[in-house]
Amino acid sequence: MVATKEAQQTVEEVSGEYKYGFVTEIETEKAPKGLNEDVIRFISAKKKEPEWLLAWRLKAYAKWLTMEEPTWAMVDYPKIDFQDIYYYAAPKSAEDGPKSLEDVDPELLRTYEKLGISLKEQEVLSGVAVDIVFDSVSVATTFRKKLKEAGIIFCSISEAAHDYPEMMKKYLGSVVPVADNYYSALNSAVFTDGTFVYIPKGVRCPMELSTYFRINEANTGQFERTIIIADEGSYVSYLEGCTAPQRDENQLHAAVVELVTHDDAEIKYSTVQNWYPGDKDGKGGIYNFVTKRGACRGKNSKISWTQVETGSAITWKYPSCLLIGDNSVGEFYSVAITNNYQQADTGTKMIHIGKNTSSTIISKGISAGKSQATYRGLVKVLPGAENARNFTQCDSLLIGDLCGAHTVPYIEIKNPTAQVEHEATTSKISDEQLFYCLQRGLEVEDAVALIVNGFCKDVMQNLPMEFAVEAQKLLGISLEGSVG
Amino acid sequence: MVKILHLHNPEIGKHFEGIRSSLTGADQAWLGAVREEAMTRFTNTGIPGPKVEEWKYTNLGFLANENFAVGTKADQTSEIKAFYDAAYLADIAGPVVVFVNGHIYPALSSYPDEEGVEFSVFSENTSAFRDTLESSDQASSLNDLNRAMVTDGYRLDIAAGVQVRQPIQIIHIVTSATDMKLIPVRSQVTASKGAKARIIETFIGAENERYWGHMISETTLHDAADISLIQFQLQGKQAIHMTELHTTVAEKANFSHMSLQLGAEISRTELINSFTGEYAHIDLRGAYLGRVKQSHDIYTRINHDQPNCQSNQLYRGVLDEGGKSAFQGKVVVARDAQKTNADQSNKNLLLSRKAEANAKPELLIYADDVKCSHGATVGEMDANQLFYLRSRGLDEVAAKGLLVEAFVAEVFDDMDDEILRDAFKAKAAGWLSREERA
C-alpha cells in the first residue's frame, strides 16, 4: 500500500508540469472576437474561398444556431462563451505563402524543434511528410512533390477548395453531416484549415503522412477539418499529433475528421493528442470536442483508428467506423490517460451495415489524481449485416483514490448471425505485481511505468514506428516522471 | 430544438378524478392527500418517453393514447382457479396470498401465520403503509402514478433472528374483461437483524387481454438479514408488465433476486439496490425469453456506497421471431467503497432474423481498490454444438431445445432449493416447447 501511495505521488509530481508550454511570439492577424455571419464571411474571404463553400458555411451556421450543446457526456465544465473566442488567427508571414522550408519563419521552425519535430530533420532523415498547421494556416507542406509523382494529393483544405473543388464538394460533410452534432455544425461554419488527402487507385502511399497541430494564439479556437479519401486498393497511414502552449484560459478545439475508403482500400489513422491539460489545480487547458468518423464504403476496405490521449482538460471524442461495404473492417485502439483534473469521455461507434463486417475495440483507460475517464462506445449491428463480428475489451486502471473510471458501452444487435463480445474490467495496479517488480530491484516509479506500459501494450503496438517512440515518451511524461 | 422527454395522457388524470372517491381507503384524509399530491406530480412529469436515457429501449409512447381504468374486484370464477393452479407451487407447502386484478382475494389466500412474522394487506390496513406512501424521495413518475392509484398490496415484517420456515407465495392474477385495466399494487418487506425469508411471487393473467400490471416493491434488509425474492412473470401476451424494486442492504446482509420473464408484450423490471452496510452481498439473476412482438427490459442499478461489499449479476436472454430485449445494468462504486467486488454477465442468444438484443452494462467507479468487471455477448447458436447433437441422432428441434435449455440453465443451476429449480426449468421448458409448435 505504501508503495502505491509513493507511486501515485510520483505520478502527480511529474505530470504537473507541461513540457511543451511555451509561447511563440509571432504577429498574428485575427478576425474580430466572436461569431456571426460577418466573421464567417471574413474567414471565407481570407481563404479566398469559392462561393459555394461560403454558402455551405453559412447554412451550417444557421443550423448551429438552432442546436443545443450536448450534455450527456460525463464531463463537467463551465459553459463556453462562443462569443469570447477568436475564430480566425493566422501568422502574418503566411500572407505571402512560404514555398519551401527556407521561407518559413525561423521562429516557427524553432517552435517545432522544441517539440522534437524539426522539419529539416524529418525531411532528411525520417522520410515523413509533414503538413504543419500553425494555428489556422498551413505554413509548410513538405514532400508534396514526391507525393505528387505518385498521384497523391496532400494539401491543406483551403488549397483543396481551390484546386479540387469537385472532390471537395463530393466529400465535404459526406461522412460527418453538418448537423451531426453541435460541434460538427460549429466546425462546418468556421473551420479554418486542415488537411486534404487523396490516394488514387492502387497506390500505396510511400510514406507516412503527418500533421502536427498546434494551438498558439491565446483565446483562439482551432477548427480544423481533415478529409482523407483512399480510392480502390490504396493504402495510407496518417499521423496526427497535437500540442498546445500553456495558458490560464481554456481554449476550444473542435475538429472534424472524415475518412472514406473505397473497395480494398485501407486507412490507418493514428493520433497522439497532447494538448495542454491544465495545471495541477485544473486551471486552463484545452477543451477538445472532436468528431472523427470513417466510412468503409467499399468492399474489403478497412479503417483503423489508434489514439493515445494524454492531454486536454476535457476530451469528448468518439472516432467511429461505418462499415458499409461487405467484408469491411473497423478497428479502434485507444489509450487514454487522465491526471489532475482532466476529464475524458472517449470511445467509439462501430456501425455494422454490410455483410461479413468485423470490428475490434481495445480501450485502455488510466486515471490518476482527481481525473475522470469514461469509455463510451456503441456497437450496432443492423438487420442486413450478416455474420458481423465484434470484439470489445475495455480495461481501466485507477491510480489513487480520488479519480474515477467509467465504462458505458451500448450494444444493439438486430441480426442473429452476429457474434458480439464485450468485456470490461476495472482495477488498480495489483499489490502483487508491484511487489514482484520491487523485489526484483526496480524503483517504484520504474515498476509503475513497467506495469502501465504492459497494460497499454495491446494499443501501443498498433502505433506506427514513427509514433511509438513519441507515445511512449508521452506516457512517460504523464505517468512515469523522469524515469520514462 | 427542445427534446420532448415526457409524454402526457390527460385521460389518466380525468379517470383519477372520476374514481378517487371509490379508491381503497378513500375515507382517510392522509391517503387522499398522498394520492392527490402523487397525481399532481405525475401529471406534471408525464410518462417517460424514448429520449429519457433509462427508457431508450422501451417506447411507452402508446401509453399516451390509451385509456385505462383501475382494476376492480373480481367475482369468484373458474378462470381464477385455473390461473391459481397454474401459478401455485404445490410442492412448496406454506402460506399463499392471492391478488386478483389488484385486490386481495381471500378465498384462495392463507396469510403467513408464524411467530415473529407480521403480515398485513393494504386494503385491510392502509395505515401500515402510511410511512412509505408519504415519503416520496426519488420517486419516478410511474411510481407516482402507482402511488396515486394503488389498490392493494402487502407488507411483511420479520422480527430479529426469525427464520421463516416456508417460502411465502404471492400470486397476482388478472382476469379477462373488456376494458384496459391498470393494476397498481405495492409491497413492503422489512427483515430485521438476522431475519431470513424467501418470497416467491408469480404474475399471471388473461392471454388475450390488454392490461398494465404495475408493482412497486420496497425491501429493507437490516444487519445480517437474508432475503431471497423470486419472481415468475407469466403475464398474458398482450399485457404490459412493470415492476420497480427498491432494496437497501445493511451490514453482512444478503439479498438475492431471481426472475424469469416469459409473458407480457412489454415487460420492464427495475431493480434499484443500495448497500447501507459493509460486507453485504447482492445477487441478481434472471432469464428473459421473448418472441413475437415481446419486449423485455431489465434495468438494474447497484449503488456500492459502502466498502467491502460484493454484487453479482447474471442475466441470460433468448430472443426468437420478433422478440426484443434490453439489459441495462449500472454499477456505481462510491469514492469510499474500497474493496468492492462487482461483476456482471449478460449473454443473449438470437434465434431468428427478426430478433433484437440490446445491452448497456455500465460501470461508474470512483474508488481505486476495487475489482469490477462486466461481460456481454450477443450471438446465434453455436453451429458446432448443434452439429454435435445432430450427429448423435437428435433432430434439429430437439437439439436446439437442449442447447437453449442449457443456455438458460446457468441462471438457476446452482439454486439450493430443488423444487424451485425444477419449477424454473419446467416453466422455461414450457416456453421452449411452445416454440417447437411454431
pLDDT at B109 over 90: yes
The DSSP secondary-structure symbol of A253 reads E
**Beta-carbon separation of B362 and A66 below 8 A:** no
Distance CA A167, CA A161 (A): 9
Cβ contact B323:B350 at 8 Å: no
Mean pLDDT in residue range A190-203 = 88
Highest mean pLDDT among A29-38, A169-178, A246-255, B294-303: B294-303
What number is the average pLDDT over the span B304-327? 94
Dist. CA A406–CA A394, nearest whole Å: 10
Name the closest residue on chain A to residue B320, using Cα atoms: A416
* pLDDT over threshold 80, residue A476: no
Confidence of residue B434 (pLDDT cuts 50, 70, 90): low
Place of cell 369468484: B76
Indicate the SS3 state at residue A165: helix
Under an 8 A CB cutoff, do A425 and B351 touch? no
pLDDT of residue A413 exceeding 90 = yes
Angle between helix A444-460 and helix A431-439 axes, rounded to 10 deg:
120
CA-to-CA distance for B105 and B262, rounded, in angstroms? 24
Report the C-alpha gap between B202 and B183 in whole angstroms. Answer: 14
Mean pLDDT of the region B349-372: 90
CB B298 within 8 A of CB B264: no
CA distance B288 to chain A (A): 16
What tens digit of pLDDT does each residue of B145-172 get? 999 999 999 999 999 999 998 999 999 9
What is the nearest CA distance from B375 to chain A, expressed in angstroms? 4
pLDDT in tens, B372-429: 888 999 998 888 999 999 999 999 888 888 888 889 988 988 888 888 888 888 888 8
CB contact under 8 A, B379 and A418: yes
> Are B369 and A403 inside 8 Å of each other by CB?
no
- If one compares A456 and A292, the residue with the highest pLDDT of the two is A292
* Partner B contacted by A410 (CB < 8 A): yes
Q: Backbone phi, then psi, for A71, in 5-degree steps? A: -125, 5
CA dihedral B28, B34, B39, B41 (to 10 degrees): 170
User: In angstroms, rounded to a whole number, what is the distance separating the alpha carbons of residues A339 and A276?
Assistant: 12
Q: Grid coordinates 407480457 are at which residue?
A: B264
**CA distance linking residue B410 with residue A404, whole number of Å:** 33
CA distance B354 to chain A (A): 7
CB pairs under 8 A between A and B: 116
**A178: pLDDT strictly greater than 50:** yes
**A72 — contact with chain B (CB < 8 Å)?**
yes
The per-residue pLDDT for range B231-279, each reduced to its tens digit, is 999 999 899 999 999 999 999 999 999 999 999 999 999 999 999 999 9
Rg of chain B (C-alpha set): 21
Distance CA B347, CA A411 (A): 11
On the CB side of A292, CA atoms within 13 Å amount to 24
Q: How far apart are CA A146 and CA B236, in angstroms?
A: 72
**Domains in chain A: boundaries:** 2-483
Q: Which of A115-129, A306-320, B371-385 has the weakest average pLDDT? A: A115-129
Interfacial A residues in 168-227 facing B (CB < 8 Å): none
Question: What is the C-alpha separation between A414 and B356, in angstroms, rounded?
Answer: 4
CA atoms within 13 A on the CB side of B36: 8
Joined grid coordinates for residue B200: 416467491
Q: How far apart are CA A53 and CA A198, in angstroms?
A: 19
3-class DSSP assignment, residue B327: strand
* Interchain CB distance below 8 Å, B361 and A417: no
Q: Are B348 and A413 in contact (CB under 8 A)?
A: yes
Query: Which residues, 6+ apart, have CB-to-CB distance to A410 below 8 Å?
Result: A377, A378, A379, A380, B358, B359, B360
Residue of B nearest to A421 (CA): B377
Give residue A155's pLDDT: 83
What average pLDDT does the structure give for chain B? 90
| Closest alpha carbon within chain A to B366 | A404
pLDDT at position A228 is 94
* Choice among A177-186, A267-276, A349-358, B77-86 with the minimum mean pLDDT: A267-276
How many CA atoms lie less than 13 Å away from B414 in the CB half-sphere?
6
Nearest CA in chain A to B359: A411
- A67 vs B: CB within 8 A: yes
Chain B interface disruption, residue of A69, A407, A419, most B CBs within 10 A? A407
pLDDT at A110 over 70: no
Q: Which residues pair with B231 in a beta bridge?
A: B201, B259
Q: Band of the pLDDT at B208, cuts 50, 70, 90?
A: confident
Strand-pair partners of B141: none
User: Of B149, B231, B218, B232, which is closest to residue B189 (Cα–Cα)?
Assistant: B218
pLDDT score, position B3: 55
Could you tell me which residues are beta bridge partners of residue B419?
none
Q: B130: buried, middle or exposed (CB in 10 Å: 19+, 13-18, 0-12)?
A: middle
Express as a percent the part of chain B with pLDDT over 90: 58
pLDDT score of B438:
38
pLDDT in tens, A40-79: 888 888 888 888 999 999 999 999 999 888 888 888 888 8
Looking at residues B20-36, what average pLDDT do you find? 89
